[in-house]
Amino acid sequence: MLDVDGKERLPGLDNHAMGTIFEELIRRFNEENNEEAGEHFTPRDVIKLMANLIFLPVAGQIESGTYLVYDGACGTGGMLTLAESTLARLAAEHGKDVSIHLFGQECQPETYAITKADLLLKGEGDEAENMKYGSTLSADAFPAREFDFMLSNPPYGKSWKSDLERMGGKDGISDPRFTVQHGGDELSLVTRSSDGQLLFLANKLAKMKHNTPLGSRITEVHNGSSLFTGDAGQGESNIRRWIIENDWLEAIIALPLNMFYNTGIATYIWVLTNRKPEARKGKVQLVDATGIFQSLRKNLGKKNCEFSDQQVQQITEMFLAFQENEQSKVFPNEVFGYWKITVERPLRLATHAPAEKVAAFKKAADKKLHQPADLLMGIAGGAQPHKDFNVVRQRFEAALKKMDLKLKPADLKAIYAAFTAKDETAEPVIKKKTKDAVEYEPDSDLRDTEQVPLLEEGGIEAFFQREVLPHVPDAWIDHDKTQIGYEISFTRHFYKPTPLRSLEEIKTDLQALQKESEGLLEQIMGGE
């Protein structure tokens, strides 16, 4: 039996039915063996939505020719085969003759074997050869390949420490997929070793086509941590920066809870392209589809809901419309970016070197420091601490020079540490003085950081003048430490406050509680 794209199928079953039965058998087998079904495949309803998001925006631009489709975490291959059938159908609808080649990589040996077997059963022997075994992160099977369409549901919340070690450790990674040049900076895209999900997306970005009319389109499933985990300058934030500042992010769709077999946590579909249409340039669309679903009559693992075909279409149309409403919002790219600034305050030291303190120091210290300690006692001895360390230091070092006493920096530091203490009423310690300015030593205990939105009116300085200086007038910004970060908060943009209760409702509840407590009191008193 041949289907619409000319490939052999088992009689009596369409491709969707085969895939559903196949995946249900795997899920049940994995449950019996205490394994996680979600490691092997993605629910068909989610894949249908992903296929719509990746193909429908360019359906009218598909030309006759060859298209390469890639999944770097292909599991049982269901995502690839459904993507193939969707692309073939759209091409046929537009009168185009296309040749589609599938490429995938999988690191679980049993799952990899199932993928190959499934493709062979479907009569796709050539495609089976393009399925490769091994880790996409540490042993990329397609380093020289670029793909037209890429889609995945990579593992999230899973350690990739063993991959990291094989790649040379965090400081030894030289893979060009994970270190990029951007805006004059070298950005490391290496994430925490406890979760490598965003690296699968970075891998796809490295495989985009840049010299074709359609470029590349990507859809990938992530959990919530990919939206915000990682501070400015860290791998996760750098990946978001790399994506958004290159204007590759089209949209993120928030899915309902419990859509997947092995997790009930929040999940999101990211949609990316390096060929944004004019209307989308410089913008990102967020779609809240968390309330669009239908309940299952019986749970499948942790999956208790699904998308109907109509709901898949509803979300797709919301994405394609690119309009603002209660469930769809559009933002300029810069909304998600911020400067992380380091706010410093001066170190303030008081010096105190009374005789008893000097004696205790000399008892424990090297003999070569005895005379310098006596010198310091002559300068900063007495009952009260000296509140200007700058004066003490100048006099002390002048006395050392006069007596031809030379101390190593470490010894000088030991002397100062023994006879100084932080004091907020003391004068700031001067680090460097020039004709035009005075630079103070920062106090690391008082160091703080602030996030300044990239769209902040007046920029960093206006924020600093308004939010920081009124509270700490002696503060300054260490501009050498300023970094750019990106994070995406669905909660902030789709927050729906709970309406306040009316006074009448509160009064009724209080009266009911009062009545109940009176009855309780009567029971207690009656018991006496």
Which pLDDT belongs to residue 208? Answer: 98
260 or 139, higher pLDDT = 139
Cα 18 to Cα 24: distance, rounded to the nearest angstrom: 10
Above 90 in pLDDT, residue 234?
yes
Nearest partner of 352 among 405, 426, 294, judged by Cα: 426
Residue 225 shares a structural domain with residue 278: yes
Report yes or no on 506 lying in a domain. no
Which pLDDT belongs to residue 127? Answer: 83
Cα 106 to Cα 113: distance, rounded to the nearest angstrom: 9
Above 50 in pLDDT, residue 403?
yes
Which pLDDT belongs to residue 15? Answer: 46
Name the pTM for this structure.
0.85
- Domain's final residue, options 440, 457, 476: 440
Above 70 in pLDDT, residue 23?
no
- Domain's final residue, options 415, 440, 465: 440
Residue 380 shares a structural domain with residue 332: no
Total structural domains in the chain? Answer: 2
Report yes or no on 279 lying in a domain. yes
Residue 330 shares a structural domain with residue 415: no
Q: What is the percent of the chain where pLDDT is above 90?
A: 70
9 or 115, higher pLDDT = 115
Residue 280 shares a structural domain with residue 135: yes
Report yes or no on 405 lying in a domain. yes
Residue 35 shares a structural domain with residue 126: yes
Which pLDDT belongs to residue 8? Answer: 41
Residue 277 shares a structural domain with residue 418: no
Q: What's the mean pLDDT in 336-349? A: 97
Q: Directed axis angle between helix 355-364 and helix 409-419, to 10°? A: 140
Residue 355 shares a structural domain with residue 294: no
Under DSSP, the state recorded for 442 is: B
Which pLDDT belongs to residue 124? Answer: 77
Res. 483 pLDDT band, cuts 50 70 90: very high
Which pLDDT belongs to residue 93? Answer: 96
Q: In which domain, by residue range, is 390 found? A: 349-440
Residue 81 shares a structural domain with residue 206: yes
* Strands 217-223 and 267-273, sheet pairing: antiparallel
Q: What is the DSSP string of 21-87?
A: HHHHHHHHHHHHTT--GGGT---HHHHHHHHHHHHGGGGGG--SEEEEEEETT-TTSHHHHHHHHHH
Above 90 in pLDDT, residue 59?
yes
Res. 2 pLDDT band, cuts 50 70 90: very low
- Domain's final residue, options 340, 365, 394: 340
Q: Are 203 and 72 in contact (CB under 8 A)?
A: yes
Report yes or no on 392 lying in a domain. yes
Which pLDDT belongs to residue 22? Answer: 57
Which pLDDT belongs to residue 9? Answer: 42
Q: Are 452 and 341 in contact (CB under 8 A)?
A: yes
39 or 236, higher pLDDT = 236
Q: What is the percent of the chain where pLDDT is above 70?
A: 90
| Residue ranges of E strands in 118-225 | 131-133, 149-152, 179-182, 185-188, 217-223
Residue 320 shares a structural domain with residue 385: no
pLDDT digits (tens, 9 = 90+) for 453-478: 999 999 999 999 999 999 999 999 99
Residue 287 shares a structural domain with residue 359: no
Which pLDDT belongs to residue 4? Answer: 33
Residue 294 shares a structural domain with residue 403: no
Which pLDDT belongs to residue 79? Answer: 92
Residue 231 shares a structural domain with residue 305: yes
Q: What's the mean pLDDT in 109-114? A: 86
* β-bridge partners, 65: 98
Which pLDDT belongs to residue 61? Answer: 96
Above 90 in pLDDT, residue 226?
yes
